[in-house]
Amino acid sequence: MPQVRVNPNRMELMKLRRRRDVAKRGHKLLKDKLDELMKEFKARVLADRRLRERVEGELAGVYGLFAVARGESGSVDLAQALLAGEPVPLVDVHVRSVMSVRMPEYEVAELPTPGGYSLATTPVVLDEALTGLAEVAPHLLQLAQREKAIELLAAEIERTRRRVNALEHVLIPQLEDVVKDIQMKLDEAERSNLTRLMKVKEMVEEQARQRERR
């Protein structure tokens, strides 16, 4: 950040003091925001960890069923069965603002009943696997939503921390130094003016005394 450069006069001193006060208020507001972001971040990370463990457990069971189905029907027949049916939209995405962070929210539509493939060439376990996948899908999308929110919060925390540090360690100290420097220069100029006025007064008084003697 460039050094603050101004002319040392009282008008600039007043402007710099106002700017310093605004910077201090902004620093406090950003610091409060950073604290709230950190609380929100920690709470979401804790909730996300519990949900992730649950989803990973559910997916492990579903993957196991798909592995059995692939073993019974073969990879080619399984792939053809999974491609059966018409694609339908399943997720609506909305955006919600949390402490100025725009976070996506996923709304899962009603999932279609698994089917559309030949029951003669596919094992029963495939039905169980697809049913299990349909049950875990909303939890999986909820996990994706939470982890995206955590990612966005982390980015906002980093941006806010940089702004707090810039104000605290760069701008505010610079303004304080410039205000102090201008005040010293103005005080010095005032003392010099006072000294000159006193000398002028002495000269005037001396001239008056000399006229009285005459």
Q: Is the pTM for the entire model greater than 0.75?
A: no
Q: How many CA atoms lie within 13 A of 98 on its CB side?
A: 22
- Which carries the bigger pLDDT value, residue 206 or residue 49? 49
What contacts 16, CB < 8 A, 6 or more positions away? 4, 6, 175, 178, 179, 182
Secondary structure of residue 9 in the 3-state scheme: coil
Q: What is the pLDDT of residues 36-62, one digit of tens each?
A: 999 999 999 998 999 999 999 999 999
Domains of the chain: 26-164 (1.10.287.3240)
Give the sign of the dihedral formed by CA 186, CA 191, CA 197, CA 203: negative
Counting residues of the chain whose pLDDT is more than 70, the rounded percentage is 88
